[in-house]
Amino acid sequence: LISTGLYVLVGAGAIMSAVGFFGCCGAARESQCLIGTFFACLLVIFAGEVTAGVFAFIGKKVAIQEAQKIYEDAYEDYMKNPVGKANSTIYRYHVALQCCGKVNVEQTGLPCPENIQLPKASNCLVEIQNVINTHLHLVGIVGIAIASITIFGMIFSMVLCCTIRSMREMI
């Protein structure tokens, strides 16, 4: 799953490099075709951003369930074999979320952090839900900021394209 995400990021970087190339070369050569291609690419990227944002907020419940399932799988692995990778995984969850266990702190044998705050310690599944709910709004804000930058790029590319057209018509 992680390697797939990395391939997607590398692909997105390559596409963004091509889009930047169209914009840069179009502006340097004063080419309406390249600037129009740049605008079209930005329009497709903007549509993708909006679509991803809508799916992120619609699929919030599924994301929470998947994250909780990952924790429950790690918890079950730990209960079967408390030594090794499962111990490290469950401990990192507990440290990151400041929680301990699926139900309550009194569960025996769980690797809980020493400086845990007791009100939060009752249920890691609830903490996973809280973290995703809290941070999804931050992701939304960043997405809106990136979308607004994309809109500015589209506006400036159209202004440049129209300016080039009017300059050629004057000649």
CA dist 141 and 144 (Å) reads: 5
Closest CA to 158 of 52, 66, 32: 32
Average confidence score pLDDT of the chain: 84
Total Cβ atoms within 10 A of residue 76: 12
The pLDDT tens digits for 19-62 are: 999 999 999 999 999 999 999 999 999 998 888 888 877 888 88
Dig out the tokens for 7 from the structure. 């391939």
The pLDDT tens digits for 113-125 are: 777 665 555 688 8
Q: What confidence tier does 1 reach under pLDDT thresholds 50, 70, 90?
A: low
| Region for 84 from its dihedrals, namely left if φ exceeds 0, alpha if ψ lies in -120 to 50, beta otherwise | left
Question: What sign does the CA torsion over 76, 95, 135, 16 have?
Answer: negative
Average pLDDT for 104-117: 65
pTM comes to 0.67
pLDDT at 11: 87
Task: Identify which has the larger pLDDT, 142 or 116.
Answer: 142
